[in-house]
């Protein structure tokens, strides 16, 4: 198994004075990280470099006991280091925004009402408010581990209710409209078919290539959860892949032969959907469509999970409940006897619902 680097892009070098230093390099961007690998200052510079920003030496140094220092320490904790790379990037982005605003605050003085105020600032976007709560729970749990404070004030705070069900799930009609707008041989149809018949998220779809297919089966490990997915290649997908060059590194690579970025694919999907008049549809919504299709075909939650690679069954079961709802309602209504067929009313049905017995009912007016 390949070892995952703690700070991707960081490398050591020796300066002209013979001193060992560290720098960050990625796609033409370079930033100095200092001499102390893993120190608070190193992490501060590294996080800035990941966002393609440079921080001068000695500026904005981390003060012990502050939220800024807590986040820096959290980045070095097993709870953070064991996350998937894509999850780390999402968490870093959120944590850095909190550091910019609250980094100077003393961790020991953060109270429940402060976290409620943070969430209230994002009340117009409930998902963002709830994610802020998640970040505060995790970072303050780390503060408890460090014995910087005896409790976690984020525990017990209720999440904002979400009225929406999340990303719109494509309907069969919308899928057909997309295919009608983007004929065979186009990158749009290739990307659509790849995601529709694998359930792969856009980040995983960008990495899939001929190396993932062996003996008619497609296998890969999800970038977000690390779950291994192993499935047969559907005939419709096989027909599209057969038109692609065998020397292609990935199925959705750029014209220059480079792997396409997840954001790049997401932007293209937005353009393709708009061209087809599908403003509500997104790349992520295809994962929901795949799960819904499987549920409608009678697949069990565990079978759906084996395709989508969800870490838990809770999300998968939501799809199956929605699909089964109409069928269960039909079955339930069929249990009610019809008056038109000469049966008694529901309340007086003798065999199913009414109380029966050999003894006559006692009347209260008789003693």
- Predicted pLDDT at 161: 82
State which of 12-26, 75-89, 263-277 shows the largest mean pLDDT. 263-277
In eight-state DSSP terms, residue 345 is: P
State which of 15-19, 126-130, 325-329 shows the largest mean pLDDT. 126-130
- Predicted pLDDT at 57: 43
Name the percent of the chain lying above pLDDT 90: 40
Condensed to tens digits (0 to 9), the pLDDT of residues 29-43 reads 888 888 888 777 788
Domain co-membership, 141 together with 198 = no
Q: Is residue 12 part of a domain?
A: no
Give 147's strand partners: none
Q: How confident is the model at residue 349 (pLDDT cuts 50, 70, 90)?
A: very low
Condensed to tens digits (0 to 9), the pLDDT of residues 72-116 reads 999 999 999 888 777 888 898 889 889 888 888 999 999 999 999
Q: pTM for this structure?
A: 0.57
Long-range contacts of 239-244 (CB under 8 A, 24+ apart): 240/184, 240/189, 240/190, 240/193, 240/194, 241/213, 243/184, 243/185, 244/190
Residues in the chain: 367
- 342: pLDDT strictly greater than 70: no
- Predicted pLDDT at 153: 95
Q: What are phi and psi of 230, to 5 degrees?
A: -140, 110
Domain co-membership, 190 together with 296 = yes
Domain co-membership, 238 together with 285 = yes
Domain of 302: which CATH number?
Answer: 1.10.443.10
Q: Is residue 273 part of a domain?
A: yes
Domain co-membership, 179 together with 99 = no
Instruction: Find, among 131, 167, 163, the residue nearest to 290 by Cα.
Output: 167
Q: Which of 129, 145, 161 is the last residue of a domain?
A: 145
Domain co-membership, 87 together with 178 = no
Q: Is residue 214 part of a domain?
A: yes
- Predicted pLDDT at 213: 95
- 7: pLDDT strictly greater than 50: yes
Domain co-membership, 180 together with 284 = yes
Q: Is residue 34 part of a domain?
A: no
Going along the chain, which residue ranges are E strands?
10-14, 20-26, 29-34, 213-214, 217-221, 228-232
Residue 346 tokens, joined = 């529901």
Parent domain of 99: 62-145
| Cα–Cα dist 94/88, whole Å | 10
Give 74's strand partners: none
Q: Is residue 107 part of a domain?
A: yes
Domain co-membership, 217 together with 264 = yes
Domain co-membership, 214 together with 95 = no
Q: How confident is the model at residue 165 (pLDDT cuts 50, 70, 90)?
A: low
Domain co-membership, 216 together with 287 = yes
Number of domains in the chain: 2
Domain co-membership, 85 together with 222 = no
Greater confidence (338 vs 154) lies with 154
Domain co-membership, 225 together with 273 = yes
Domain co-membership, 90 together with 208 = no
Q: List Cβ neighbours of 236 (8 Å cut-off, separation of 6 or more).
A: 193, 197
Q: What are phi and psi of 173, to 5 degrees?
A: -65, -40
């Amino acid at each position: 198994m390949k070892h995952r680097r703690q700070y991707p892009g960081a490398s050591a070098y020796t300066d002209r004075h013979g001193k060992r230093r560290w720098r960050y390099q990625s796609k033409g961007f370079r930033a100095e990280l200092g001499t102390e690998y893993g120190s608070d200052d190193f992490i501060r510079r590294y996080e800035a470099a990941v966002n393609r920003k440079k921080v001068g030496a000695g500026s904005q140094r981390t003060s012990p006991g502050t939220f800024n220092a807590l986040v820096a320490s959290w980045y070095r904790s097993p709870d953070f280091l064991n996350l998937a790379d894509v999850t780390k990037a999402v968490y870093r982005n959120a944590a850095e925004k909190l550091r910019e605003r609250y980094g100077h605050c003393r961790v020991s003085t953060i109270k429940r009402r402060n976290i409620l105020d943070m969430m209230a600032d994002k009340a117009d976007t409930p998902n963002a408010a709830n994610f802020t709560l998640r970040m505060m729970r995790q970072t303050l749990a780390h503060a408890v581990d460090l014995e910087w404070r005896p409790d976690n004030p984020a525990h017990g705070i209720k999440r904002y209710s979400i009225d929406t069900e999340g990303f719109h799930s494509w309907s069969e009609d919308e899928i057909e409209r997309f295919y009608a707008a983007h004929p065979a041989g186009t990158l749009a149809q290739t990307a659509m078919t790849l995601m529709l018949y694998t359930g792969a998220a856009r980040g995983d779809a960008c990495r899939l290539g001929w190396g993932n297919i062996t003996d008619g089966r497609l296998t890969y490990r999800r970038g977000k959860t690390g779950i291994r997915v192993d499935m047969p290649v559907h005939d419709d997908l096989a027909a599209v892949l057969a038109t692609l060059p065998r020397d292609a590194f990935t199925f959705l690579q750029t014209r220059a032969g480079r792997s396409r970025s997840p954001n790049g694919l997401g932007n293209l999907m937005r353009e393709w959907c708009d061209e087809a008049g599908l403003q509500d549809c997104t790349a992520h919504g295809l994962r929901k469509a795949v799960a819904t299709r499987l549920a409608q075909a009678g697949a069990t939650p565990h079978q759906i999970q084996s395709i989508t690679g969800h870490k838990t069954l809770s999300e998968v079961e939501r799809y199956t409940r929605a699909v089964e709802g109409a069928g269960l309602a039909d079955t339930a209504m069929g249990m009610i006897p019809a008056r038109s067929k000469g049966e008694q009313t529901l309340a007086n049905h003798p065999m199913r619902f009414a109380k029966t017995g050999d003894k006559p009912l006692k009347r209260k007016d008789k003693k």
